[in-house]
Structure 1
Amino acid sequence: MKAIDKLRANFPILFQEVNDEPLIYLDNAATTQKPKQVLEVLNQYYQQDNANVHRGVHTLGERATTAYEASREKVRQFINAHSTKEILFTRGTTTSLNWVARSFGDQFVEDGDEIVISYMEHHSNIVPWQQIAKRKGAILKYIELTDEGELDMQDARQKITPKTKIVSLTHSSNVLGVTNPIKELAQLAHEVGAIMVADGAQAVPHMPVDVQELDVDFYAFSGHKMCGPTGIGVLYGKQSWLEKIEPIEFGGEMIDFVYDQESTWAELPYKFEAGTPNIAGAIGLGAAIDYLTALDMSQIHAYEQAIVEYVLPKLQAIEGVTVYGPSTTANHTAVLSFNIDGVHPHDVATAMDMQGVAVRAGHHCAQPLLRYLDVSATARASFYFYNTLEEVDKFIDAVIATKEFFSHGII
């Protein structure tokens, strides 16, 4: 990967002060910063190519369509999908998972079927399945976790049964920093005739992902967590499934022909993309993929693992700090959730913000997990490839200073 100082120069937002302290941005699991290369592409689209896609034969329309569909091909290559027909643009991971729940769920889930998720899921991979289970009379089952916060694979093998219709799990947890064995889980699901859905929001930005190797049926992720714009996401689906299921949004663009009383649908992937899409967002996502590809996802993953190996022992060594998730770095992403004894996580985040360190505090859209952990909230620091080891040291110093302040009133 490029020298870190040269790389950081692409992110002008990082060079500012917050509360008279240099900003250290450690809320990357919520959203990542955008490099100048992405911002410039967005600006160029709106200043030079702004037009609707697929509908016009004029020059701007053709340029916009070419750029939009080029981004779809970039996504295909990035996750190694078989065809661009398998790449659907959505508003984000939440929309993608809702599409699967409503389309596949409404068509194929029946009374008494089982849907299997886990206690480490984000709300966007819980609530849609709750709603389908209610509407269809299905049973929602949760895979337990180990003492280390990893998925209990023995329990997974017991929970996934011939009654299972859907298995939907996060690829990497946004709280525990653990990566799940999606390929093995897909095999378990397919052995009983179920589909495998993966929430890749915390995986795609941080490691190489090959959907064909994983053998998932559906895979969802968001652009804004991988240096792209907000409001754009992707749903990958195996072509065989996308041809079978029905769209859940209807209107312009997704039709083949509209008769007085019925309509037929366009071919894939347009069958699912009703109305004017987020054209700029898709083009911006393509630019983000170009940026990440140039850095090399394997090197990004290796760099983040080096950060984890550096920061995790330091955080664990602070007396009175509890770190959630695996205690070793072997299966730990650069997401670290923690609490300081006797200090509310929101107070921790506020105190750290006063020192220029931006961390998250709350339930992280994972209330079932926090109940499972028997805590109401945690603080969370999440690192990305533009964070430095010097920032890690300042983060550790800020945690210690915060602890001392609430113990002795000095920061």
Structure 2
Amino acid sequence: MPQATVMERTPFIKPNPASTQAAAVSDGSRIGFENVSVTYGALTVLHSFTLTVNPGEIVALIGPSGSGKTTALRAVAGFVRPSSGRILIGDRDVTNLAPYDRKIGMVVQNYALFPHMRVDENVAFGLRAHGASEDLIRSRVPECLSMVGMSAYAKRYPRELSGGQQQRVAIARALAPRPQVLLLDEPLSALDAQIRRSMLDELAKLHRDLPNLTVLYVTHDQSEALTLANHIGIMRDGRLQAFGDSKALFRHPPNRFAAEFLGRANLLPVSGLKPADEGMAQVRFGGIALSARNHHGLADGSDCLICIRPHDFRFSRSAAEPNSVSGTVLSVQWQGDVHNITLNIGGEALRMSCPPMTNPPGLGETVSVHFNPAEVTLVPEDGARG
């Protein structure tokens, strides 16, 4: 298999005097990966990756460092050439096209603004590179700055802006040529927590204002993915481990790695699955009978895991509560708006999150907790821990 080529760091917009306006976003903004592999010598960093991002969607790729998520995004951008497979934007095979021929916008984590240009000049750069008329530039630059709330900063230099403000300018610059798709590579990782939350709100608003814009968003932060994305792909070791609707993937992860990586999860080993009514199943944890959704249709009698999110636990008022178990308190942490409690239940350390309590349980205290069978799901025990 041929070695992947890392293309020269050319701007993603090419001067084109014949064009005064980028193509409008339509069905041509669909992103398609068809069995895409990327190799560097003997090392394969992306394995037969297949995925579709539909027009108008935000799809987030998440995973640990080295999982291949940024490689996939850079392959769409044209900065990495696949060793095999195809990349499509709409019906166009862009696998071997230069970055500036792909009609995309891209925002990276370090902003990449030109320090010698004022804000409006940075935003105008892509339009001028496209050969847009000055009349178009004069109308588009204010429009894009308004989209990201930066109209009042048009004459400032990047050094005069905060990190969050610089990132807004970078987004405006990417949108100015009206790209078919927008690629976001860890765009908020360099920002502090408060600014990051604000920028998430801004990105969500931006997509509401531009509902036909197709976005591929790479992040290591699961909360960003859950906040913004219609669908999420979870990657590990260059392979797609899970893909689906964000809420469904969170509530019904298909495997151990997806459960552990997307949100904190308690995975309790259970056995002896028996079917019950309406997609439910009965299992046993030691000598305790428990019930949960069998969302993935696991086979009768199989060993599996119950996936219980920390907020699914409730303190039991009586032993009659469904799925009631007892445990010993190992730790109690107060974090302002939540108490995080770790319990030893049958030799398993399980995490519980609940609203702040005036009198939380003490270390070593025995407590009873329960969870709603309809809120938890069974997961196959078929993968190594993440």
Q: Report the TM-score, using the length of structure 2 for normalisation.
A: 0.26
Greater relative contact order structure (CA < 8 Å, 6+ sep): 1
Instruction: Kindly name which structure, 1 or 2, has the bigger radius of gyration based on alpha carbons.
Output: 2
Q: Report the TM-score, using the length of structure 1 for normalisation.
A: 0.25
Structure with higher helix content: 1
